[in-house]
Amino acid sequence: MPLARRSPDVLCLQEVRAREEEVGRVMRLLPFQYFAAGQRPGYSGTAILSRGAALSWWAGMDHRISDDEGRVTTAEFSSVFVVSVYVPNSQHGLPRLALRLRWDRAFREYVRGLARRKPVVFCGDLNVAHQEIDIARPRDNRTNPGFTDRERRSFSRTLDAGFLDTFRALHPDERDRYTWWRIASGSREKNIGWRIDYVCASDSLRVRLQKAFILDSITGSDHCPVGVDLEGEL
């Protein structure tokens, strides 16, 4: 991603798969503070890069799967909390669906708790296509991980807890906008994808929301970046 050209104030990463000490030398070359969740080597992991100073930051949300696998990193700024999150995948055949739903409940309570203190922006790979408009082939995927009714209802409950899907808030009817494509079968070239990467924000931030975008022209991964522009200082 061309960081120099886009010049984000905050960049959230998922699946970093590296400990902070493994990338510290590189990070010192960039104009960012770096906050990384602890994680098992070569597995999962989240991070936040901040151009400005954060008031504080921490890893995890006091949940075994989140904290063992480095799935949540939080940074506190003057006006918002920013959370980088990588939600567990229910996996083929749904062996981790029950765990995934328990994790969703824990995360929902976590961000609700933060929101009682100040507004929250949480973003990352949420591993769910919320509505039929968010997936190229909804009928073929109803029982597949990331598009089951239970996962979609769980995400609805998170939004109903006081958060908005920023992209849908500004682009409620826009179709064929995806953030993930299967590597096999040329699905990206055909745009047979899923929108599973989100920036969600407290409802109170709607008045500051200027843009919500999907950078699907940026390649190099089976995912593409997403982002928002908020009016005012962090």
Q: Which residues are catalytic?
A: 86, 125
Q: What are phi and psi of 197, to 5 degrees?
A: -110, 130
Burial class of residue 67 in the structure, from the number of CB atoms within 10 Å of its CB (0-12 exposed, 13-18 middle, 19+ buried): middle
Residue 197 burial (CB count, 10 A): 21
Residue with tokens 């920013």, as numbered in its chain: 82
Alpha-carbon span 20 to 149, nearest angstrom = 37
Q: Is 229 within 8 Å of 215 (Cβ atoms)? A: no
- Evaluated on CA atoms 133, 227, 209, 6, the torsion sign reads negative
Angle between helices 149-160 and 97-115 (to 10 degrees): 10
The 3-state DSSP class for residue 158 equals: helix
- Dihedral in degrees, nearest 10, Cα atoms 48, 54, 56, 57: 0
